[in-house]
Amino acid sequence: MPRFKNRTHILSAIIDAFIKPPDTTTYPFTPIELPHGFRGTVIMIDPEKCTGCSICIRDCPANALEIQRESRERYRLIHYPSRCAYCGQCEESCKNRAISQTNQTVKPTADPDSFIVVFKDTLGEDKPKFS
Protein backbone atom coordinates (compact mmCIF):
# COMPACT_ATOMS: atom_id res chain seq x y z
CA MET A 1 0.00 0.00 0.00
CA PRO A 2 1.86 3.14 -1.08
CA ARG A 3 2.08 5.89 1.42
CA PHE A 4 1.53 9.41 0.30
CA LYS A 5 3.74 11.43 2.58
CA ASN A 6 6.86 11.11 0.47
CA ARG A 7 5.12 12.53 -2.53
CA THR A 8 6.07 16.02 -1.47
CA HIS A 9 9.63 15.46 -2.69
CA ILE A 10 8.46 14.58 -6.17
CA LEU A 11 5.78 17.24 -6.09
CA SER A 12 8.31 19.96 -5.41
CA ALA A 13 10.56 18.48 -8.10
CA ILE A 14 7.85 18.62 -10.75
CA ILE A 15 6.74 22.12 -9.84
CA ASP A 16 10.36 23.20 -9.99
CA ALA A 17 10.70 21.55 -13.39
CA PHE A 18 7.58 23.27 -14.63
CA ILE A 19 8.84 26.70 -13.73
CA LYS A 20 12.29 26.31 -15.23
CA PRO A 21 12.74 26.28 -18.99
CA PRO A 22 12.79 22.85 -20.60
CA ASP A 23 15.98 21.03 -21.33
CA THR A 24 15.20 19.60 -24.72
CA THR A 25 15.66 21.61 -27.89
CA THR A 26 13.83 21.44 -31.17
CA TYR A 27 17.01 20.43 -32.89
CA PRO A 28 16.73 20.98 -36.62
CA PHE A 29 14.91 24.24 -36.08
CA THR A 30 17.23 25.66 -33.45
CA PRO A 31 20.97 25.52 -33.93
CA ILE A 32 23.14 23.69 -31.44
CA GLU A 33 26.74 24.35 -30.66
CA LEU A 34 29.17 21.51 -30.76
CA PRO A 35 32.08 21.62 -28.35
CA HIS A 36 35.52 22.43 -29.64
CA GLY A 37 36.90 18.94 -29.30
CA PHE A 38 33.96 17.15 -30.88
CA ARG A 39 35.13 14.37 -33.16
CA GLY A 40 33.48 15.17 -36.45
CA THR A 41 34.40 14.82 -40.08
CA VAL A 42 37.89 13.87 -41.11
CA ILE A 43 39.57 16.12 -43.62
CA MET A 44 42.98 16.47 -45.07
CA ILE A 45 44.11 19.87 -44.05
CA ASP A 46 47.40 19.88 -45.84
CA PRO A 47 47.81 17.54 -48.81
CA GLU A 48 51.38 18.75 -49.30
CA LYS A 49 52.41 17.18 -46.04
CA CYS A 50 51.10 13.74 -46.96
CA THR A 51 53.91 11.47 -48.08
CA GLY A 52 51.88 8.34 -48.74
CA CYS A 53 53.41 6.36 -45.86
CA SER A 54 50.11 4.48 -45.26
CA ILE A 55 50.34 4.44 -41.47
CA CYS A 56 46.84 5.89 -41.29
CA ILE A 57 45.53 3.10 -43.45
CA ARG A 58 47.24 0.48 -41.32
CA ASP A 59 45.81 1.95 -38.11
CA CYS A 60 42.28 2.71 -39.22
CA PRO A 61 39.99 0.30 -37.34
CA ALA A 62 37.17 0.62 -39.84
CA ASN A 63 39.10 0.33 -43.13
CA ALA A 64 37.83 3.73 -44.12
CA LEU A 65 41.02 4.88 -45.82
CA GLU A 66 42.44 3.38 -48.93
CA ILE A 67 45.38 4.07 -51.14
CA GLN A 68 45.64 3.31 -54.83
CA ARG A 69 49.27 3.36 -55.67
CA GLU A 70 51.25 3.29 -58.85
CA SER A 71 54.61 4.35 -57.55
CA ARG A 72 56.07 6.15 -54.56
CA GLU A 73 54.97 9.55 -55.75
CA ARG A 74 51.86 8.68 -57.74
CA TYR A 75 49.02 7.53 -55.52
CA ARG A 76 45.51 8.37 -54.58
CA LEU A 77 44.31 8.44 -51.01
CA ILE A 78 40.56 8.10 -50.63
CA HIS A 79 38.35 8.16 -47.60
CA TYR A 80 34.98 6.51 -47.11
CA PRO A 81 32.98 8.62 -44.65
CA SER A 82 30.25 6.00 -44.52
CA ARG A 83 32.66 3.44 -43.09
CA CYS A 84 34.45 5.85 -40.82
CA ALA A 85 34.06 5.44 -37.05
CA TYR A 86 35.21 9.00 -36.31
CA CYS A 87 37.70 7.77 -33.75
CA GLY A 88 40.52 10.09 -34.78
CA GLN A 89 43.16 7.39 -34.95
CA CYS A 90 44.34 8.57 -38.36
CA GLU A 91 44.99 12.03 -36.97
CA GLU A 92 46.81 10.44 -34.08
CA SER A 93 48.94 8.19 -36.26
CA CYS A 94 49.90 10.63 -38.97
CA LYS A 95 53.47 11.73 -38.28
CA ASN A 96 53.30 14.69 -40.65
CA ARG A 97 49.97 15.98 -39.33
CA ALA A 98 48.36 15.95 -42.72
CA ILE A 99 45.02 14.43 -41.71
CA SER A 100 42.92 16.13 -39.12
CA GLN A 101 39.49 15.94 -37.59
CA THR A 102 37.14 18.89 -37.49
CA ASN A 103 34.23 19.43 -35.19
CA GLN A 104 31.56 19.61 -37.85
CA THR A 105 29.01 16.89 -38.24
CA VAL A 106 28.88 14.82 -41.37
CA LYS A 107 26.30 15.80 -43.93
CA PRO A 108 23.84 12.96 -44.43
CA THR A 109 23.60 11.24 -47.74
CA ALA A 110 21.06 8.95 -49.28
CA ASP A 111 23.64 6.82 -51.03
CA PRO A 112 26.38 5.84 -48.61
CA ASP A 113 28.03 3.34 -50.92
CA SER A 114 29.09 5.91 -53.43
CA PHE A 115 30.06 8.54 -50.88
CA ILE A 116 33.81 8.90 -51.08
CA VAL A 117 36.16 11.77 -50.55
CA VAL A 118 39.47 12.00 -52.33
CA PHE A 119 42.16 13.29 -50.02
CA LYS A 120 45.17 13.46 -52.25
CA ASP A 121 45.46 12.60 -55.86
CA THR A 122 48.65 12.56 -57.83
CA LEU A 123 47.58 9.79 -60.14
CA GLY A 124 45.95 11.98 -62.69
CA GLU A 125 43.26 9.58 -63.85
CA ASP A 126 39.82 10.90 -64.41
CA LYS A 127 37.66 8.81 -62.10
CA PRO A 128 38.52 7.18 -58.79
CA LYS A 129 37.85 3.49 -58.78
CA PHE A 130 36.91 2.11 -55.45
CA SER A 131 36.31 -1.33 -54.09
Quick one: 58 or 129, whose CB is closer to other proteins?
58
Single out the residue of 31, 32, 33, 35 in contact with other proteins (rule: CB under 8 A). 35
Interface pick for other proteins out of 43, 67, 87, 118 (rule CB under 8 A): 87
Estimate to the nearest angstrom the gap between the alpha carbon of 128 and the chain centroid: 22
Terminal Cα distance for the chain, rounded: 65
- Which residues of the chain form beta strands (DSSP E)? 42-44, 65-69, 75-79, 99-101, 117-121
Across-strand partners of 78? 66, 118
Between CA 69 and CA 82 the distance in angstroms is: 22
The piece of 44-52, 75-83, 89-97, 123-131 that touches other proteins (CB under 8 A) is 89-97
Q: Which of residues 53-72 bind other proteins (CB under 8 A)?
A: 58-62
- Does residue number 14 form part of the binding site for other proteins (CB under 8 A)? yes
Q: Tell whether residue 32 is a contact of other proteins (CB under 8 A).
A: no
Nearest to 127 by CA among 54, 81, 78: 78
Shortest distance, CB of residue 130 to other proteins, whole angstroms?
A: 21
Radius of gyration of the chain (CA): 23
* Distance in Å, CB of 125 to other proteins, minimum: 30
> Using CB under 8 A as the criterion, which residues of the chain lie in contact with other proteins when the complex forms?
1-3, 5-7, 9-11, 13-14, 17-18, 20, 22-26, 35, 37-39, 58-62, 85-89, 92-93, 103
